[in-house]
A and B are shown apart, each in its own frame.
Chain A
Amino acid sequence: MDRNNWKGWLYLLPAFIFLGVFMIYPLVDVFVYSFEEGYNSASQSFFGTGWYNYSYVLHDPYFLQALKNTLIMVAVTVPLSTGLALLIALGLSSIKALRNLYQTVYFLPYVTNTLAVGLVFMILFKKTAYSDGLINLLIALFGAGPIDFIDGPYAAKMFVMCFYIIWVVLPFKILILTSALAGVREDYYRAARVDGTSRARIFTRITLPMISPTVFYLVITGFIGAFKCYSDAVALFGTDLNAAGMNTIVGYVYDMLYGDSGGYPSYASAAAILLFAIVLTITCINLMVSKKHVHY
């Protein structure tokens, strides 16, 4: 056993080196950065320490815009995508023919490049000088005027954004919910059928309680994921998200770090820590709620 002592550490060594350099050190460092005022990345010097970076970020209209955008995206996409995924998963588990085909099709967005397919969405929704775009064509059928979803009003942009996010996150949720539904023992449904239970009641009293742990898992991870939205926005609105007014918190962090407005790792760190605090708070609230309502 003693002979193995050094061996265990040896096997762990590569993982430790990588984690130390790229995870643990940065984790400490990001807090340090966030308190270093007036850090200059070229000279690597700073004036003093304090809360100034946080104050700057919280008063930055771009951050507030990003915060507002992110909150709207979270509030819209998490409930909608979870609900829609549940509906689709229920539909999937109630059919036999073509089930595999539907499942395969629904999963496709998961394996596609977010940026690449985002471009297709942009083209479908964009109104240009040459063409109103396909979606506007459909809207025109209902008598509404053409809207530019990509460079137009805020609500229209937010709509496309949320629609795309839902399109991207749905495969995972459908997959998880479908396997959760398949995990509910057939006997429960048979017993309920013999007792003449209506479908609505089977759903609310048996199915939903049985899969509630999975639903909460999806809600929690959904919140975390939605708060970190970024590449979906880039895919639709390009890299200059501030100009489009569609930036997200993560986008703000990266913009502060790098790019045309970059070079401020301190502001970026403060914003990242703020994001982490928000996500942590919401996750804790979620966990407390789920403790009350999950039956296992």
Chain B
Amino acid sequence: MKVVLKNLTKKFPTGNRKRREEFVAVDHLNFEIPDGKLVGLLGPSGCGKSTTLNMICGLETPTEGQVFFGENDVTNLAAEHRGVGMVFQNYALYPHLTVLQNILFPLQNLKGDKKLSRQEMLSRAQEAAKLVQISELMDRKPAELSGGQQQRVAIARALVKMPHVLLLDEPLSNLDARLRLQTREEIRRIQRETGITTVFVTHDQEEAMSISDCIVVMKSGVAQQIGRPQDVYDQPRNLFVAKFLGTPPINVFEGEVKGGKLWIGQESVLETPGVAEGPVWVGIRPEGFLLDENGPLTCNLSAVEVMGRDKSVVSTHPASVNATIRSIIDSENQVDTGKKTVRFRLRPRKVFLFHKETEARVY
């Protein structure tokens, strides 16, 4: 089912009795999640992504704006009537019930004409368990399961009632690094198999980029950019998005546009036709650096880290905002570590310019 958010806003009262203040957690959010897609809500902690998820779920009521499921306005509808499945950050598995009883729990709540027979419930639970591959764990209690297994049970419990929308709140944050990789592929597979529109929240950009059909980057309650992961990475709309996506993170320099050229320090590094003159922030992706003995950008070499597939050159530059510049180059390139400096040419497609004040992208 398609999910549409229109001007969605949530304000929380803060302060005390004498001074009433408001904290805007989500600010006029607009976006549409096409049917059957996997969408990642991405942002640093406190950016309003969890609040947004809770409003889609129905656990929070928006201060303003609307939520549509398909053509239906569900803004004020209670969570239980929306037909959503939710996986909580710490799974919220009932510790006194077995895995099977946990999965059956939502089905046993159904009333009236939706009520299922015991046999149907069991077969639905088995089906969900099979989907997440926990069929052999049905009689265990949550405390006897590993983190990854608990995660699967939580997903099975959310899926068993065949929700229109599946919501996942930081689904991977409680798992260790190896399980995280495995589980995120698992989530992707389950989502593909079921075709349920899925929204998940994460602060980990790699996680969001790797499995989402579409990501929404949020900051202070405002959506910064919405789009396919690759598009957002290649065409960041502002400095925040550029800095938030990508590992190693983007390198930021202070620069200036003069006479159709970009200047970093005393060096003219790139032709930038059609960009208004003046000081800018320059963002260069690590893969945007090419070793070139006659390249325009000269950096002070600090170290070269060999990573097998490629090499990471660590250097410094007076105009750099970050303490070090990290560039990724092909492992076949040789860097003379005896030298004090290293010179680069830049790949124009990996260089972004941002307005000095508004931080919006200008090139």
Q: Is A129 in the interface zone, CB < 8 Å from B?
A: no
Known: A195-B105, A198-B109. A187 touches B80 (CB 8 A): no
| B94 contacts A188, C-beta separation under 8 Å | yes
Q: Is A59 in the interface zone, CB < 8 Å from B?
A: no
Q: Residue-by-residue, is A204-227 near B (CB-CB < 8 Å gives 1, otherwise 0)?
A: 011001100000000000000000
Residues in chain A near residue B109, CB distance under 8 A = 195-198, 201
Q: Is A21 in the interface zone, CB < 8 Å from B?
A: no
| B57 contacts A194, C-beta separation under 8 Å | yes
Residues in chain B near residue A193, CB distance under 8 A = 59, 78-80
| B86 contacts A191, C-beta separation under 8 Å | yes
Residues in chain B near residue A205, CB distance under 8 A = 94, 97, 105
Q: Residue-by-residue, is A166-194 near B (CB-CB < 8 Å gives 1, otherwise 0)?
A: 00000000000000000001011011111
| A187 contacts B92, C-beta separation under 8 Å | yes
| A191 contacts B95, C-beta separation under 8 Å | no
In angstroms, Cα B97 to Cα A197, docked, is 15
| A197 contacts B105, C-beta separation under 8 Å | yes
The minimal Cβ–Cβ distance linking B167 to chain A, given in whole angstroms, is 8
| Nearest chain A residue, comparing its CB with the CB of B82 | A194
| B94 contacts A194, C-beta separation under 8 Å | no
The minimal Cβ–Cβ distance linking A195 to chain B, given in whole angstroms, is 4
| A194 contacts B86, C-beta separation under 8 Å | yes
| Nearest chain A residue, comparing its CB with the CB of B107 | A195
The minimal Cβ–Cβ distance linking A248 to chain B, given in whole angstroms, is 38
Known: A185-B92, A295-B96. A196 touches B59 (CB 8 A): no
Residues in chain B near residue A296, CB distance under 8 A = 95-96
Among A196, A209, A210, A295, the residue within 8 A (CB) of B80 is A196
Of the listed residues B59, B81, B157, the one surrounded by the most CB atoms of chain A closer than 10 A to its CB is B59
Interface residues on A, range: 10 to 19
Among A191, A198, A209, A295, the residue within 8 A (CB) of B92 is A191
| Nearest chain B residue, comparing its CB with the CB of A196 | B80
Q: Is B85 in the interface zone, CB < 8 Å from A?
A: yes
Residues in chain A near residue B89, CB distance under 8 A = 187
Residues in chain A near residue B92, CB distance under 8 A = 185, 187-188, 190-191
The minimal Cβ–Cβ distance linking A262 to chain B, given in whole angstroms, is 52
Residues in chain A near residue B157, CB distance under 8 A = 191, 195
Q: Is B161 in the interface zone, CB < 8 Å from A?
A: yes
| Nearest chain A residue, comparing its CB with the CB of B163 | A194
In angstroms, Cα B94 to Cα A111, docked, is 37
The minimal Cβ–Cβ distance linking B17 to chain A, given in whole angstroms, is 13
| Nearest chain A residue, comparing its CB with the CB of B85 | A194
Q: Residue-by-residue, is B68-89 near A (CB-CB < 8 Å gives 1, otherwise 0)?
A: 0000000000111100111011
Residues in chain A near residue B57, CB distance under 8 A = 194
Among B59, B80, B111, the residue within 8 A (CB) of A195 is B80
Q: 3 closest pairs, A vs B, by CB?
A: A196-B80, A295-B96, A195-B106
Question: A residues bordering B, Cβ < 8 Å?
Answer: 185, 187-188, 190-198, 201, 205-206, 209-210, 295-296
Apart from A185-B90, A197-B109, A206-B94, 12 more pairs, CB < 8 Å: A190-B88, A191-B88, A191-B157, A192-B105, A193-B59, A193-B78, A194-B59, A194-B79, A195-B106, A196-B79, A198-B111, A295-B96
